[in-house]
A and B are shown apart, each in its own frame.
Chain A
């Protein structure tokens, strides 16, 4: 049994370490796969901009904004990498407070479609704080679980983790954003699993969640949410109503064939048959224009990225690192499966973005911060300790 101890930091500490050693520990593959995925996102932004008839580099187009956010994300990635992740252990409660604060601010002054409050507008920027809140949640949970590693066969520690996730999840539910709150739940589940929590209690918890479903269905979910959740189960969807997006996106994906119609040639997207084509349904454009091969490449990239994330967790001598990697992996996997599954009609419609690819600054920057922290963890596990 060990504990994490804190001592006053010495300013010379970082400088004393060799930058070369840090570079060697830096996971170049992880950065490469993430960069390629972000590049796919930019390509999709480009094709969407061309299809909407504007010159792609014109200010304000999807592509121009995508480039800007990619730049910001790269900076955020570098900053997060150089930042000593161990500060998070000390600062876990302030981080938690910051997370709740961001979500409360969103609820208070946020904008959204149809009376919802999802993003905050500051000057020319709109930012969806709930994306950043996911990373902060992972930080808080990683610290919580890592510090209680010995006691994870007790129900108390598991319930404690649940209690931690509760308030942010509820705040996101209030926006209302069902998709993001499900991501919070997925992060919790994945991290609990990887923490080594007792299988019995995990099973009990799972049973409890299943039991909650009817209650949530009756009292918490709104009608449109239920409609979206069930429309994928309907074999003959109401193609002019709630099933329209689903139907059109399946047509888009299906008509892509093996090699696709070619970039910027997607007729489904061009004809505006696909709603929200630059955001949640971006995969349908990709599948239509780049075909089965393009989709497969995307999946392989995600698979490789997840592999590198898990490797980082496995290599971490620090349980915080393991837990953090578990959180990031759970988040990416869940969002991938739900988003792409939704586009292909095997998952309910929830507003979950496809990491890196979906156009949206908050999602990309948050991912960059998450992976940056992971790199920070990578380069701070010295070989000697391994």
Chain B
């Protein structure tokens, strides 16, 4: 077809409409120009400043973390460079997430759920890096960096990892470092931490986090919108390395303690135990072993969720330092409190004789002597030496629960010792006030008896126990136990020298403690502790057996054993009249149920190793399972 305009049609071109349209065009373009002027000319400098600001940021320069040495200068933890794989969730498109994570999991030979878990648990924002794998070997790291375009949002970086020289041996002391958690992040952000930072989680790594971390430096960095660095412009402040710690721990003593404990545990088939050695004159801890333990290097390398869950579920709680983070009934070792209290309060004199019996009767309840016979009339040396229950029931009865509690507090029970390790528990010293608050009742007389021999409500940590005997051994000063001896700055200058910390002086005359030290020596010389007296060194101390838990079918309770002992400064010729001891050792054998006192054997073995005694005095027969009171 061809079309044409019929002549009769007059195009209706209304000028006014064109004019209005034209005006709209002019106004619209004018408005756009005005806005452009406002943004670029009127406020241009301000926007240019914002633009510059968001392109350059101050980024932290991590400071090398401080090192840790034992008291002899042996390196216990080092920093080693490792590859870490991180993901910036904002750069990982959701549609590709499953594919990328699956590929990454295959490359890292881990489980995809671990990576998903890490991304979902990201404490920061989607623009912050999330660590999905650490301690990646170089070949894998290279493979992942080269596959960059297939793995959007994935970055490989070098970071320092903690390498613990002795692993499990020191895990409960040193602890480990780990990633910042979501709950911690808000507080830590204010202190300059990054969401992908590592920090001390437990042990000394956590306790001395501030000192070890050092001061992060900063550099101004040009970056793009996704936060990727494009170039480093300048270093604003150099990083200041963290301070180094020198411990009071002697690796050799620590190894001996572990060896002695492991020997007994294996022999008995027991699963939980503690050995501590300290210098009573200063409060320095020379060795502290809590078994079972774990390898802190596994945490430093990034432990898998499954492995971590396994450690958490273990009934013997390997993640817990049983020396300070759990409390137990102390058994007869606690008789130190009633003995000291009765002498100090003049309820008895060193020569006062108290009749020991097969049992005491209180109302209709019989309180038995542990050997069901007694030793006749006993003074403090005899009562403490034989560990007579009826003797100390009567002393506790003379003191009363509140006075007994007072003397327990004097020895540091019922309060954390203040050792420089995190999460220490306080233990329990029963008093009327305590029971009123905890259980809503007064203490019954029978409970006072129990409290006198370290049963019933009494609960102490192994560290509190050794610290109490340390106060006895040093003549009455209760020190705060210490793990870190010195802190050395990055330039090698000692920023915090060692200084003993006194909690308080015991409220007793030195003569009372001298009596108690000699009474403790009686425990050994009376052969209550079998052949301990035959060792070529002098030891005083106290054993203890404490029942716990629920009775078996024949009404017998499982029991643990304790021993705390100390040697004079001159272990061969010295005397316990002097308070010059420089070594206290304690052992705790949980659920030992042995014929003899397992803890005594452990301490004996430790002392043999420590003093280099060649002859073996160990009595393995005592470590046979007995499940009845043979010893106390």
Contact = CB atoms under 8 A, between A and B. Distances in A.
B8 A1 contact: yes
A257 interface: yes
A8 B5 contact: no
Given A254-B39, A257-B40, A292-B41, A196 B3 contact: no
B502 interface: no
Contact of B18 (A194, A273, A296): A194
Interface residues of B, number: 49
A243 to B, nearest CB: 14
Interface in A241-300: 248, 250-258, 267-268, 270-274, 287, 291-292, 295-296, 299
Contacts of B37: 292
Contact of B29 (A5, A270, A292, A303): A303
Contact of A196 (B17, B24, B28, B48): B17
Nearest to A247: B50
Nearest to A272: B225
B192 interface: no
Most chain A CB atoms below 10 A, which of B28, B31, B32: B32
Contacts of A292: 36-37, 40-41
A8 B1 CA distance: 4
B230 to A, nearest CB: 7
B55 A89 contact: no
Contacts of B43: 254
Given A292-B40, A296-B33, A385-B5, A268 B51 contact: yes
Given A272-B224, A299-B29, A193 B35 contact: no
Contact of B5 (A1, A4, A256): A4
Interface residues of A, number: 66
B3 A303 contact: no
A291 B17 contact: no
Contacts of A268: 51
Contacts of A3: 6, 8-9
Contacts of B8: 1-3
A319 interface: yes
Interface string A329-362: 1000100110011001110000000000000000
Given A7-B3, A273-B224, A337-B28, A2 B40 contact: no
B250 to A, nearest CB: 54
A90 interface: yes
Most chain A CB atoms below 10 A, which of B10, B26, B40, B224: B40
A257 B18 CA distance: 35
B36 A295 contact: yes
Most chain A CB atoms below 10 A, which of B9, B17, B46: B9
Contacts of B433: none
A96 interface: no
B51 A255 contact: yes
Contacts of A5: 3-4, 6
A87 B104 CA distance: 61
Contacts of A13: 2
Contact of B39 (A8, A250, A326): A250
Contacts of B24: 333
Given A296-B36, A310-B22, A344-B39, A10 B2 contact: yes
B12 interface: yes
Contacts of A6: 1-3
A9 B2 contact: yes
B12 A1 contact: no
Nearest to B33: A299
Interface in B560-580: none
A41 interface: no
A307 B1 CA distance: 33
A314 interface: yes
B11 A344 contact: no
Contacts of A252: 51
Given A299-B33, A344-B32, A254 B2 contact: no
A322 B11 CA distance: 9
A256 B13 contact: no
Contacts of A228: none
Contact of A258 (B4, B25, B29, B44): B44
Given A1-B8, A340-B32, 18 more contacts: A1-B9, A2-B8, A6-B1, A8-B2, A149-B11, A251-B51, A253-B39, A257-B44, A257-B48, A270-B224, A296-B33, A314-B18, A318-B11, A329-B21, A333-B28, A344-B39, A345-B35, A346-B35
7 contacts: A2-B10, A89-B3, A257-B40, A257-B45, A271-B225, A272-B225, A302-B29
Interface of A: 1-10, 13, 86-87, 89-90, 149, 190, 193-194, 196, 248, 250-258, 267-268, 270-274, 287, 291-292, 295-296, 299, 302-303, 306-307, 310, 313-314, 316-319, 322, 326, 329, 333, 336-337, 340-341, 344-346, 385
Interface of B: 1-14, 17-18, 20-22, 24-26, 28-29, 31-33, 35-37, 39-41, 43-48, 50-52, 54-55, 223-226, 230
